[in-house]
């Protein structure tokens, strides 16, 4: 008697979220205030800040694989903010500010280490571009300084600065507060903190469709584990954004490419900083485990493959051996690829879309890891308030229509 009364109540008040959990109708699929598609660092950070800063805790993060298994767990962990344009410098420096005490905020060691990022110049053109960057950065209050070849060598002793190599080092731009952070720890740190605030993280759950109501507003996602109702969706599915956005009828200005990296066998501490060379497409640092972390370029053809061409790695290793001859006999342990999506101006899209209730965070290309905290922070604001934070206001989808590009091709140049 008692149980049938309860079930009658359940049916009558199925939609009433105020009822105690045990009285709620288990039948309708749960409705979330926000569904985030993609449990990479950016998606998880967004969910965390929605809960922590906007009090929106009824959030699901749905992930087709495992959390952090996309680009977040595949990148070479470089963190810096020395971008050319003020809009970008503002966004990446906001992230760099948040990196400073992220381990304390999340109570999870993300191993952020400000060991400096040195970007080498090998040609007269490189020198001009680097110095333009340095001046632009300093005008915008962003740290960046020029080093002579000898100062580069002093800062990074393994560097070969002899003049008779194919691409001699002619100097470098150093951002001292740049560095590295532990990539998968960032995903796990945000995931654990978001989960503690009530966010649901659903792995092995691929979004296959986005449903819209008669007015065009989003109303649900269809997934391989059932439908989930929601009135707000954030797409944070790097590499696959075009596919997911296409589910809501949006055509994105994006191309997807494989980008590769590799690690060596572990060595004793030998490499004190991060060195990047955009001209010869190589970048290198040493992880706390001891392996050299080496990044290569993108493939020249669009693809969704997580294995890029081997010739790209070979080319990178030739460059590394020329710049750091002492690594010639080091053995490589493994290589892998991730799929990055790039925009025409190499800057991200971090914005509302023309579809009501649909928000998009994408287009980070080869450089979104460093932005993770800042991106999640301002994207959560955009979703919660239905308007951009001043820091991401310029990163709209409409800028490709209006011609207001934020052209960072030279800044992020590692792979372009
Ligand atoms: P991801 O971590 O890729 O997360 C997106 C998630 O969406 C994935 O887990 C994916 O499985 C999921 N997804 C996709 N489709 C669906 C669907 N239909 N349903 C559910 N889930 C879905 N950046 C730097 O700043 N510094 C670097 O040194 C650096 N090095 C890099 C080196 C390599 C080799 C690569 C590949 C990238 C590098 N990047 C770097 C770029 C950086 O990794 C990315 O920009 C950043 O990690 C993007 O994070 P994200 O959270 O947006 O994406
Ligand atoms: O954006 O700093 C970067 C980067 C390094 C390697 C790939 N991207």
The 3-state secondary structure of the chain reads: CHHHHHHHHHHHCCCCCCCCHHHCCCCCCCEECEEEECCCHHHHHHHHHHHHHHCCCCEEEECCCCCCCCHHHCCCCEECCCCCCHHHHHHHHHHHHHHHCHHHHHCCCCCCECCCEEEEECCHHHHHHHHHHHHHHHHCCCCCEEECHHHHHHHCCCCCCCCCCCCCCCEEEEECCCEECCHHHHHHHHHHHHHHCCCEEECCCCEEEEEECCCCCEEEEEECCEEEEECCEEECCCCCHHHHHHCCCCCCCCEEEEEEEEEEEECCCCCCCEEEECCCCEEEEECCCCEEEEEEEECCCCCCCCCCCHHHHHHHHHHHHHHCHHHCCCCEEEEEEEEEEECCCCCCEEEECCCCCEEEEECECCCCHHHHHHHHHHHHHHHHHCCCCHHHCCCCCCHHHHCCCCCCCCCCHHHC
pLDDT band at 409 (very low <50, low <70, confident <90, very high): confident
Q: Average pLDDT over the chain, rounded to whole?
A: 91
pLDDT computed for residue 25 by the predictor: 45
Looking at the predicted structure, is the pLDDT value of residue 15 above 60? no
Nearest CA to ligand 1 atom 5: 237
pLDDT band at 307 (very low <50, low <70, confident <90, very high): confident
pLDDT band at 103 (very low <50, low <70, confident <90, very high): very high
Backbone angles phi, psi at 272, to 5 degrees: -85, -10
> Ligand 2 mean position to 116 CA, how many Å?
13
CB 121 within 8 A of CB 172: yes
136 pocket-lining for ligand 1 (C-beta < 6 Å): no
367 pocket-lining for ligand 2 (C-beta < 6 Å): yes
pLDDT computed for residue 24 by the predictor: 45
How far is residue 173's CA from residue 157's CA, in Å, rounded to a whole number?
A: 16
pLDDT band at 54 (very low <50, low <70, confident <90, very high): very high
Least confident of 16-25, 43-52, 209-218, 234-243: 16-25
366 pocket-lining for ligand 2 (C-beta < 6 Å): yes
pLDDT computed for residue 299 by the predictor: 87
Q: Which residue has the higher pLDDT, 307 or 71?
A: 71
Two structure tokens written together for 11: 């049916």
Residues 354-380: pLDDT tens digits? 999 999 999 999 999 999 999 999 999
> What is the maximum alpha-carbon separation in the chain?
91
Least confident of 3-17, 63-77, 88-102: 3-17
Overall average pLDDT of the 315-320 stretch: 91
How far is residue 378's CA from residue 392's CA, in Å, rounded to a whole number?
A: 7
User: What superfamily does domain 115-178+255-342 belong to in CATH?
Assistant: D-Amino Acid Oxidase, subunit A, domain 2 (3.30.9.10)
> Ligand 2 mean position to 221 CA, how many Å?
33
Task: Name residue, tokens 């792979």.
Answer: 415
Overall average pLDDT of the 38-59 stretch: 98
pLDDT computed for residue 250 by the predictor: 97
Nearest CA to ligand 2 atom 2: 78
Looking at the predicted structure, is the pLDDT value of residue 21 above 70? no
Nearest CA to ligand 1 atom 18: 207
41 pocket-lining for ligand 1 (C-beta < 6 Å): yes
> Ligand 1 mean position to 364 CA, how many Å?
9
Looking at the predicted structure, is the pLDDT value of residue 416 above 50? no
Residues 231-276: pLDDT tens digits? 999 999 999 999 999 999 999 999 999 999 999 999 999 999 999 9
pLDDT computed for residue 300 by the predictor: 84
pLDDT computed for residue 20 by the predictor: 52
pLDDT computed for residue 199 by the predictor: 98
61 pocket-lining for ligand 1 (C-beta < 6 Å): no
Backbone angles phi, psi at 26, to 5 degrees: -75, -5
74 pocket-lining for ligand 2 (C-beta < 6 Å): no
> Ligand 2 mean position to 414 CA, how many Å?
6
Pocket test for ligand 2, best of 173, 180, 366, 371 (most atoms within 8 A of CB): 366
Nearest CA to ligand 2 atom 5: 78
Nearest atom within ligand 1 for CA of residue 368: 45
pLDDT computed for residue 52 by the predictor: 98
Pocket test for ligand 2, best of 174, 367, 374 (most atoms within 8 A of CB): 367
> Ligand 1 mean position to 257 CA, how many Å?
12
62 pocket-lining for ligand 1 (C-beta < 6 Å): yes
- Ligand nearest to the CA of residue 75, numbered in listed order: 1
* Portion of the chain with pLDDT greater than 90, in percent: 85
* Portion of the chain with pLDDT greater than 70, in percent: 91
pTM value > 0.85:
yes
pLDDT band at 227 (very low <50, low <70, confident <90, very high): very high
414 pocket-lining for ligand 2 (C-beta < 6 Å): yes
Overall average pLDDT of the 85-100 stretch: 95
CB 56 within 8 A of CB 34: yes
């Amino acid at each position: 008697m008692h149980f049938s009364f309860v079930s009658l109540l359940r049916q009558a008040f199925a939609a009433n979220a105020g009822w105690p959990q045990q009285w709620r109708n288990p039948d309708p699929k749960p409705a979330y205030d926000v569904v985030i598609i993609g449990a990479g660092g950016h998606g998880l950070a967004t969910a965390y800040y929605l809960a922590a800063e906007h009090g929106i805790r009824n959030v699901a993060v749905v992930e087709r694989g495992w959390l952090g298994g996309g680009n977040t767990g595949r990148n070479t962990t470089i963190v810096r903010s020395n971008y050319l344009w003020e809009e970008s410098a503002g966004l990446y420096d906001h992230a760099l500010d948040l990196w400073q005490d992220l381990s304390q905020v999340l109570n999870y060691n993300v191993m952020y280490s400000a060991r400096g990022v040195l970007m080498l110049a090998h040609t007269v053109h490189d020198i001009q571009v680097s110095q333009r960057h340095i001046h632009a950065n300093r005008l915008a209050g962003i740290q960046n300084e020029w080093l002579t070849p000898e100062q580069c060598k002093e800062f990074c002793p393994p560097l070969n600065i002899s003049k008779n190599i194919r691409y001699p080092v002619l100097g470098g731009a150093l951002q001292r507060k740049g560095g590295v952070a532990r990539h998968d720890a960032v995903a796990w740190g945000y995931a654990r903190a978001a989960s503690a605030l009530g966010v649901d993280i659903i792995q092995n759950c691929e979004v296959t469709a986005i449903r819209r109501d008669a007015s065009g507003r989003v109303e649900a996602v269809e997934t391989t584990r059932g439908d989930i109702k929601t009135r707000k969706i954030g797409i944070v599915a790097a590499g696959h954004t075009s596919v997911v956005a296409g589910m809501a009828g949006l055509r994105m200005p994006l191309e997807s490419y494989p980008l590769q990296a590799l690690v060596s066998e572990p060595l004793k501490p030998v490499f004190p900083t991060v060195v990047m060379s955009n001209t010869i497409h190589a970048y290198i640092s040493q992880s706390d485990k001891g392996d050299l972390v080496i990044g290569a370029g993108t493939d020249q053809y669009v693809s969704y493959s997580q294995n890029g061409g081997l010739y790209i790695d070979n080319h990178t290793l030739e460059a590394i051996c020329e710049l750091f001859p002492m690594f010639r006999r080091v053995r490589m342990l493994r290589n892998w690829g991730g799929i990055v999506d790039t925009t025409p101006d190499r800057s991200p899209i971090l914005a509302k879309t023309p579809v009501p209730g649909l928000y998009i965070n994408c287009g980070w290309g080869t450089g979104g890891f460093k932005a993770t905290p800042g991106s999640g922070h301002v994207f959560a604001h955009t979703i919660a308030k239905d308007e951009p934070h001043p820091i991401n206001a310029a990163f709209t989808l409409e800028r490709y229509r209006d011609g207001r590009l934020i052209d960072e091709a030279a800044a992020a140049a590692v792979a372009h």
